[in-house]
Amino acid sequence: MLSLFGDITNIISLAVTPAFLLLGVMLQLRVLNNRLERISDRREVLEQRLSVSNGLRAALTHELSVLRRRTTAIHRALGTSTSCMIIVFSVVVTLFIDDAKHLKLDSLIAFLFVFAMLLLIVSFSLLLHEILLGTHSLPSTTLHRTRQVEGQH
């Protein structure tokens, strides 16, 4: 009985690392979701302005196209983060199956973990891409410049 308890303790301690990784990915999902909500709110405001304003039509449509690209990047980041979580869960399950059935799944576990890391890298890269798109469309955008020019006339 003592050896079984030792084995399960070892497996649980091995599963702690993926659990911390899952916590980090969950926090990233929260950040991505918050950014998506902000983009959606901004899109609604711009679409409302577009329906009542003719003078700023070009600037508004440009900013809406930037928001569409940002939304696409966030959706892809959400997809890769979610896929990463599924793979990490698979790592934990495989660890327990490996121990219970005395299989030699070390290579599979390593492959799954590396694959999860690659998905996380892609997700963070997409987040960085979205941030760069967002910073290039800050108040110094065409819409803001158009308002300043109209105010000077």
Q: Among 36, 2, 29, 136, which residue's Cα sits nearest to residue 84?
A: 29
DSSP three-state, residue 46: helix
Residue 147 has pLDDT above 60, yes or no: no
Average pLDDT over residues 58-78: 94
Q: Among 129, 137, 140, 25, which residue's Cα sits nearest to residue 72?
A: 129
> Which is more confident, 90 or 6?
90
pLDDT at residue 99, rounded to an integer: 84
Residues 63, 46 contacting (CB under 8 angstroms): yes
pLDDT band for 122, please (50, 70, 90 cuts): very high
pLDDT at residue 79, rounded to an integer: 98
- The burial of 101, by beta-carbon neighbours within 10 Å (0-12 exposed, 13-18 middle, 19 or more buried), is given as exposed
> Which is more confident, 137 or 139?
137
Residue 149 has pLDDT above 70, yes or no: no
Residues 131, 60 contacting (CB under 8 angstroms): no
> Which is more confident, 52 or 15?
52
pLDDT band for 12, please (50, 70, 90 cuts): confident
pLDDT band for 102, please (50, 70, 90 cuts): confident
pLDDT at residue 2, rounded to an integer: 43
